[in-house]
Structure 1
């Protein structure tokens, strides 16, 4: 039987990593059904990068059943923070959560911090009552569910210590718990109240929300409180703070009161007096506007005093929001301003006065906007808003940032003025500039931008033309141990640097934890959406810094993700990968990631060899292990590359990030059904394993059903089996291209499965030559070529019936071509068919091995260019190969470059002319299509079909179809159909230095009766030696 007495609270060390991983893996129901899986190493890596000061675990025997982190709050000063708390679902109800929270609270008091914060979600109805019972108040905000606990402050007040030493604060609390935001209004301040009662003794304490401090204390012995007239107070005008003391004892209080002043608040109070029963007083307050307007994430400026009563200090403070008579905002609805362009802007006026007023705004003279009218005058209601359209002409792109003087006349005739700024970006094609508003720093290059939030140094990188949200670059962390100090560190300087090729936004932050260390960060924005982030660490001190590490957290969306792993590139095309935690990021084989959305937006991430990219809790992180940074030395890190719509696909991003010298990688689905054999093919009679697997860390659960044509397999798998793969044995007794179909049904999803598998026969492939007709016959398909006819394969027959369109024995004019030979061939765009026929072509039988060791048999057509001026010295090898008794042929080409020159950026096209029936009008192409039509008939009208991974060719006269799979490395592919021809084409690029031999990826042609709207085939990434 599980009891609370069995629970021990301990601090984490790596010896608990396996048990912590087990707890998280069994806690998915606590987190919306998240089924990501952690390993012991994941936990060790995560905690090594964690900013936790302490990590408390609830342990029963060898089981970890609860988890509670404690770190410094990164959004505000003066608070610790619980970033994550969890109780194993099987152990809830044992008050483990309470034990963990109270342990964290005790540690906060021990460390001398005044407050403990956490975040949750509004629907967390199980935990919110517990949080409140443990002293947390739910702050009413639209942007977050934020809770604050002021018990550390309460327990550190000397006057109250006797009560809490005598009485348990948890059990004597009289607070009413409701599952809604807390607080009541005192004037227009929000106030939270604790109440404890024990017999005749009691303590009531009120905290003001924005100042995060005490405004009222009441016990059986005294009452002290303060009040302000309003939360928002005008700058440079007289205000008064009022205070009251009630003495409920028989002895007088000896009191001193001392005001608290700051850069923003002037509140000079110094008095000493005696209080027999009641005292009250008002003292003047004057405010200056802060550099940055207060925001709900941070403690506001405070007004208050320290009351010393009988030598015990009782601090009273209330938050305040300094204001000017009004606010001005310049806004534009037009995202595409051009130079010169006349258009409307909107000047939004917001009065903060209690009376109606007349405003006169003199628009600033500047180099960017020519105002149609230089001045705006308007009547504004008390506390009202007014939007005034103003006309202007844009003279140049850039950042408008100008001071503006506003004169205000109130109803009673009083006049005043205030100064503010008008700030607005006017980006445009090729325009490079930077600027700042009250909340952000900006850098632009055309539509691409970097936006840095001043309050926490978080960065957004995006494009004005993108539909997707910008990429978030979180505040970096210095370690070890890592901490969040830089999120609360104001930049000491920000520079805008315009280069010929890019625009640079540079920030400088100073570390206090690692004294004398300065961090410079350069955001280099190129005009194509590429942003390079370079970090510089400088040790300005006299002593070296050892064991230094640097972590850059990045929030990258994983929809449409491409992630390079050891066996290929995982393509995230499912709905269940919202977090990096579901990916084995430790298995990354290359230094890049790429995502694409349904809207067409793309984002790429890449890092250099001096960094490691992997999971950082729920984010992705790029980490540098620096080691020792000597005194006076600088260490440059990076760059990290971000690409916003820089390239359309992962292959181009990989090429940009890693260079051209990369091996071919096949695409891998997150979930897949395939036969696990030596490569993609097995032998007839060979026993193989059919596997359904997940490439995510989450375990499979559900029922798998697979039909193989010769067998049906069913298996149920439970999550407790901790497996990402289901396998079963299968033996094929006949050769051919086998189709596997089936279904996987989990508790929340259903998938239809399809896979192809190659089973090789035992009869050898025959290659013959009779009167210059070379024939390759594998018992299922046969294809032919003739060097005297045309340099390509002119005939492919399946079950004795022709599939290609040709005019053997003599090439002639056809449609746009002259001469035209049809069939399948590789063509160079700068070599016409007429020129091609001038060159000598020879044919020979060949056997080639793929990377898996399978032997393919067929022919090679060799064309040595001796006549063509540009291509003289180049040799083109065209291969057509097949396997025994398989209705599959592959076509690829090699180019031997002996022209004593360099070829770069060249194209090589595969042309395939089809005619699977006597009547061209009955022949069709069918392919995946986002439009309404998916099948197009030849011989009738002219069509151009878009690039798709594959195309199926068939006719109304026969059941069997040909499926042509385009190479992954293609530049483009498509089909062209008119009244005379039915052409399918793909284009690949090639480059070679003199003497080099280069190869293009194969195109695969196979036959069968199935129709595919998507295709899971085994031919990805075939390469030949």
Structure 2
């Protein structure tokens, strides 16, 4: 039984869809079950004209949905068709399709379309049996003209006697339906026949035959500026003469005014001339062709015949590049000539602008490229004429000196700079963005959608107008369209300059209670999608039909995002979307993120297109929102945390959290423990590891799912020994001894660490004197904080400040760290207090340093701060060798020549047996020739009023370069 869908049936529909994985390549649910609530929410987004359900007793076993087709007018589309696999072959799909055809007929549609895949061996024959034709050279687009045919006046007598489905005759092979530009329909029963041929270009009837007569219309090739022909053949199949009248006319640019009437006893052939204007619009293949329309009246009955004329130039002229944007001076473009005729074409092509001419000779169907040179310093046009051809082919040329340019070419408006090209079609406002770095279209078919429901949008078929402006390397385009459905005028403004950021704004007159979605398709499959979620930044490779899925797989609520941006990254290029305020974010597979905004509360959108990564998109967001973006490191869409554990014992049992940031569940085992996690429902578990020596140990957790097996690395840091105590001795200096290493702090001497080591001091210091080291004077050495207002003021004047101290203790991973905090309330930079804590734990080779800046005022401050590390590993400068990454490993031995370099995260200085390792966000290394190699961690810090910022640095005594690099994991420690 076929019935229309009602909302109360949503759960039964969800049950049917959740049981349909087997019927779809790659599955249907993709591991995320449909729910009644989700289906009803999805229905609000789509403008569905009819939804039919197939029932077996009390269960829904199939569904078909019809919408308007998004491209052609008066065409409907089977947006979704599915029958649960257990009910395949039982006629449910057939009955659903028949119902769809009859609904389209009832609504007066001229066609019903659908898409499928070439390997759909069960369904393609069924589609063909219900009137669909596989359009040649598509994967797989099918058209059904039965709604037009069933409404034909001259066809009604046959269908009043015969069932259209039962009497329809055709081959049902799973292959393209290539019938030389036509689609033949044939019915036959009890001696009655009906044969109707549809012209593939126009979608109209071009041939009709029944028991009484046969009529056909055929047109010749259509070339701009030339004549063509149309031929009618009328055949009388009865002994009684037919009274026939033929009235024919064409679209604009197609001239034919043919009227004739005659009597046909047997067969009559009539031919007329068709004139095609030389300046006729040349339409793209996705646009409807020009039409030649004829009313044939047979014994008082009207039969409309329609033929499509896909008008082309006999010699087609295009250019490479297609859009000519150049720098000033001598340039060369290639003019491409294609012979669209069926005979050899020879002649001459001339550029009227420059006078340059070239001969050509081209075989039928082939192309030839001809170079033309020209000189341009300002915007201009190149005009080309082909010999013996009337049209003048005009090529707009835009000259850029680094900024953006704008041009209109036919129905397309192009905005372009060195990073990107934006193409907006005035036929529906469809927008594509081309990345000039990767030479790929990063988004396409992006358009304006008003709703809900949003899909399909009436604006897809609405003409747009444009106003363009270009000044001082900046361009602006204002696109306008009128929505009949919502009685409002939409304006979309695009602004582009020399940079990678493109600004987009909407306005509506008058304002309506409606939302606007800017969305479409992206080439993001295979790229990396980065999202700044509140629960953590995520970077994950996109997989078509797998990640991201729709239906809320990723958060749709803007409140779930910590920052207002997202980024697709591929081949060293980034495509980002930045917003200020929106109502909803619609993320779907293989789709541009749909940013939905309330038209009564509109804010600009920004696109980022150019070289870079998510960090560049985030930097642009930070600039637009005038905020400082704190450091962030994205994780995968699912993750196990922590990746680093620390212990002071021989065995550690650590707690881990397996989190999934998708709505789609992740199921499997971790170290044989079963789990199922989805967004907001993590899995917490324990794992035990053994440790022996102090240092870094690599361990792993084993995750098994149906899809993959993966080892999750876990770094175990044996920081010390729990049984060892940290001893403190307060005197003129404070001595801290952890049983393996000791350090000594002199608060009155720049708040510095003046000793760190075992028997020898790894630090270079003149304590208690104040001396000079190279160009540094006064020089205190050791380890101490630095603060300065301007970069050029390095290393600052904190030696002028007074310090106090206190004994301090902190915990990390349940390990107690003890030491000394030195504090200075600055006098030279009023309102700033500096706290530096030097910490260690029992029997540890690690000195942890927490450097904190406190803003004691309500005014924001911006300054540089960090730590200085003057080192002499193993007590000597003689053979101190510096290592750092930039990005490859750099080594600097002692030579008469010094140098300074900026790197990140890690640097080490090698002595006779120790690799003295320094870790920090920003590293500045200073090679001071015979005076050694030293390390600093200055970083610019923006401190809001009445707030503070902190950073941990670490000094580690490592035994090898490999171990030194392994200690970089300490930067991931999260202190209590």
TM-score class, shorter-chain normalisation, is 0.7 to 0.9
Q: How does 1:762-777 map to 2 (within 5 A)?
A: 766=726, 768-775=728-735
- CA deviation after TM superposition for structure 1 residue 240, in Å: 2.2
Corresponding residue for residue 420 of structure 1:
393
Match of 2:598 among 608, 625, 635: 625
Deviation at 1:639, TM superposition (A): 0.7
**What CA deviation, in whole Å up to 9, does each residue of 1:514-555 have, x standing for no partner?**
34x21111001133221111111113xxxxx86422221154
Residue 609 of structure 2 is aligned to residue 644 of structure 1 = yes
CA shift at 1:793, angstroms?
4.2
Say which of 354, 357, 373 aligns to 1:376. Answer: 357
Displacement of 1:466 after TM fit? 4.8
- CA distance in structure 1 between the partners assigned to 2:973 and 2:607 by the alignment: 28
- How many Å separate the matches in 2 of 1:643 and 1:252? 71
Structure 2 partner of 1:908: 865
Distance 1:554 1:239, change over 3 A: closer
Match of 1:27 in 2: 21
CA distance in 1, matches of 2:679, 2:167: 46
Match of 2:134, SS state, is strand
Q: CA RMSD in A?
A: 4.7
**CA, structure 1 residues 697+86, in 2 after alignment: closer, same or farther (shift >3 Å)?**
farther
Aligned counterparts of 2:902 and 2:31: Cα–Cα separation in 1: 38
* CA pair 997-672 structure 1, distance change in 2 beyond 3 A: closer
Classify the secondary structure of the residue corresponding to 1:742: strand
User: Which residues in structure 2 correspond to 1:16-95 (within 5 Å)?
Assistant: 16=10, 19-20=13-14, 23=17, 27=21, 30-32=24-26, 35=30, 37=32, 40=35, 41-58=37-54, 65-89=61-85, 91-95=87-91
The answer on whether the counterparts of 1:881 and 1:890 sit within 8 Å (CA) in structure 2 is: yes
1:879 paired to 2:837: yes
Query: Which shows bigger deviation, 261-270 or 161-170?
Result: 161-170
Check the 8 A contact 1:460/1:471 in 2, yes or no. yes
Deviations 1:337-370 (A, max 9, x none): 433x223222333444546443352423xxxxxx
Show the 5 A alignment for 1:444-455.
444-455=416-427
| Distance of 2:41 and 2:969 partners within structure 1 | 37
The gaps in structure 2 that reach 5 residues or longer are: none
Q: How does 1:267-666 map onto structure 2 within 5 Å?
A: 267-288=256-277, 292-332=281-321, 337-339=326-328, 341-352=329-340, 354=343, 356-359=345-348, 361-364=350-353, 371=354, 374-381=355-362, 383=364, 385-396=367-378, 398=379, 400-401=380-381, 404=383, 406=385, 408-409=387-388, 417-430=390-403, 432-466=404-438, 469-472=441-444, 474-498=446-470, 502-515=474-487, 517-539=488-510, 547-555=513-521, 557=524, 559-572=527-540, 578-579=547-548, 581=550, 583-586=553-556, 588-590=560-562, 592-595=564-567, 597=569, 599-615=571-587, 619=591, 620-626=593-599, 637-645=602-610, 648=613, 649=615, 651-660=618-627
1:696 is matched with 662
For residue 413 of structure 1, what is the aligned residue in structure 2? none
The one of 131, 153, 156 aligned to 2:151: 156
Does the CA-based 8 Å contact 2:786-2:938 persist in structure 1?
Answer: no
Cα offset, 1:257, TM superposition: 2.7
Secondary structure, counterpart of 2:447 in structure 1: coil
2:7 is matched with: 13
Among candidates 828, 851, 858, match of residue 893 of structure 1: 851
2:823 corresponds to which residue? 862
CA gap 1:482/1:334 in 2 versus in 1, 3 angstroms: closer
Q: Hey, what's the Cα distance between the residues in 2 that align with 1:127 and 1:929?
A: 58
1:173 aligns with 2:132: no
- Tell me, yes or no, if the aligned pair for 2:533 and 2:563 is still in contact at 8 Å: no
Q: 1:382 to 1:738 in 2, by over 3 A?
A: closer
Task: Give the secondary-structure state (helix, strand or coil) at the position aligned to 1:113.
Answer: coil
Q: Select which of 179, 203, 218 maps to 1:212.
A: 203
2:325 and 2:955 map into 1 onto residues whose CA distance is 48
| 1:917/1:957 contact within 8 Å kept | yes
Question: Which shows bigger deviation, 329-338 or 1004-1013?
Answer: 1004-1013
C-alpha contact (below 8 Å) 2:405/2:474 kept by paired residues: no
Gaps of 5+ in 1: 1-6, 365-370, 410-415, 540-544, 627-634, 705-712
Q: Tell whether the 8 Å contact from 2:53 to 2:61 is kept in structure 1 after alignment.
A: yes
1:988 aligns with 2:939: yes
**Residues 709-720 of structure 1 mapped to structure 2, 5 A cutoff:** 713-715=671-673
Structure 1 segment 713-732 matched on structure 2, within 5 A: 713-715=671-673, 727-730=684-687
Q: Please give the secondary structure, in 2, of the residue aligned with 1:131.
A: helix
Assess if the C-alpha contact under 8 Å between 1:844 and 1:860 holds in 2. yes
SS in 2 for 1:234: coil
| Cα distance between partner residues in 2 of 1:1014 and 1:249 | 95
Separation in structure 2 between the aligned mates of residue 747 and residue 338 of structure 1, nearest angstrom: 55
Shift of 1:429: 0.7
Q: Aligned partners of 1:351, 1:151: CA distance in 2, in Å? A: 36
- Aligned-pair CA distance for 1:320: 0.8
Query: For the structure 1 residues 663 and 723, does the alpha-carbon distance in structure 2 shift closer, same or farther, using more than 3 Å as the test?
Result: closer
State the shift of 1:242 in Å. Answer: 0.9
Deviations 1:695-740 (A, max 9, x none): 3333335553xxxxxxxx3246699x99986554457899999865
Q: Residue 283 of structure 2: SS of its match in structure 1?
A: coil
Which residue does 2:806 correspond to in 1?
844
After TM superposition, list the pairs within 5 Å mapping 1:726-765 onto structure 2. Answer: 727-730=684-687, 740-756=699-715
Question: 1:183–1:618: structure 2 CA closer, same or farther, 3 Å change rule?
Answer: same
Deviations 1:230-289 (A, max 9, x none): 2xx133443321112222234443433332432232332334444333233123322236
| 3-state DSSP of counterpart to 2:108 | coil
Compute the TM-score of the two structures, normalised by the length of structure 2: 0.84
Q: CA deviation at 1:563?
A: 0.9
After superposition, where does 1:169-248 map in structure 2 within 5 Å?
A: 169-185=164-180, 190-230=181-221, 233-248=222-237
Compute the displacement of 1:684 (Å).
12
Cα gap change, 1:108 to 1:748, in 2 (>3 Å): same
Aligned partners of 1:201 and 1:912: how far apart in 2? Answer: 100
Residue 908 of structure 1: how far off its partner (Å): 2.8
Q: Which moved more, 1:345-354 or 1:330-339?
A: 330-339
- The Cα of 1:912 is off from its aligned counterpart by 4.7
Alpha-carbon offset, residue 115 of structure 1? 0.7
Deviations, residues 735-760 of structure 1 (Å, cap 9, x unaligned): 99986513334444332211357999
Deviation (angstroms), 1:503: 1.7
Check the 8 A contact 1:445/1:502 in 2, yes or no: no
Distance 2:649 2:483 in 1: 64
Q: Distance in 2 between matches of 1:884 and 1:64?
A: 68
Relative distance call for 1:385 and 1:603 in structure 2 (3 A) is closer
State how many pairs are aligned: 952
